[in-house]
Structure 1
Amino acid sequence: MEAWLQHMIHLMLEALALPQVGLGAVFVVALISATLLPLGSEPVVLLLVHQQPELFWPAILVAAVGNTLGGAISWWMGWGAERAYEAAVHHTPRDQRVLGWLRRFGAKTCLLSWLPIVGDPLCALAGWLRLPFWPCVFYMAIGKFGRYVVMTSVGLYLLR
């Protein structure tokens, strides 16, 4: 497994070195990392921008769009999981605090989708609760865009 991971990192770094592939690689990694798969996209964005500083804003926008799309996929996964659960069990866990909190604050909770560890499952829970899709995507986009601007700027500052 470790050899495979090292190989994938090497391929990703090679892809980022090519300007025509770099933004595509950022998009794919950002999309995948926003699903429930454990992958971080910030290092990929930082590597590309460090190698090609003129791509700062394009990389940020591409990463934010890819990550938001991944969050939307997680929303739909949660929506489908809830439907399957309801079909099998016929009751919902209304007494859980987290679900109550999500219901109370609604789509605005997707602003927190940028958080590590809890952000991606939060998008899936928003779908599970059937929070309105487009407002959730809007708030996901704001949170994810802000994260990429801050993380990439701080990373570039530290690499100076």
Structure 2
Amino acid sequence: MTFPVAKAEMLIRRPVSEVYEAFIDPAITSKFWFTRGSARLEAGKQVQWDWDMYGASAPVQVLELEVNKRIVIHWGTNAEWTFTAQSENETFVTITDSGFEGEAEEVVQQAIGSTEGFTIVLCGLKAYLEHGIQLNLVYDKAPYAHVNKPEVTDEQDDSGEVEFT
């Protein structure tokens, strides 16, 4: 059996250095993906990413970093980001995820879920970096699964961030 590889791609209209940094720095990544990260990504280091609304966390082993080009991690599966400058202010991001385990149907479902999840992450990244808007896509993806439910208001501050109270 050939094992599936999840793949999500998106053009982000920002310089490659800014797009790459958005995945390295948890202070930025938390604006469009997870709630918080324990540290910046560094090759050979382990960090933790938390999704407080779901009561979930993931240990993340950073395997490789090529500045403004590539990120490779292991977090139960093997995920790789590639960053390709299309112009001075355009970056094409490709994320692949592989190494799913289980019976054939489980592996297929994991790959589908990963493709969906990383597509949501890239859409959130695009909105945040291009327009300064936090869409809270990951938060809203599965509201029935929330274990911590802050009230979301439609109030936004000058940065475009939605307030959670």
Which has the larger share of strand?
2
Which has the larger share of helix?
1
Query: Would you call these one fold, judging by a TM-score over 0.5?
Result: no
TM normalised by structure 1 equals 0.26
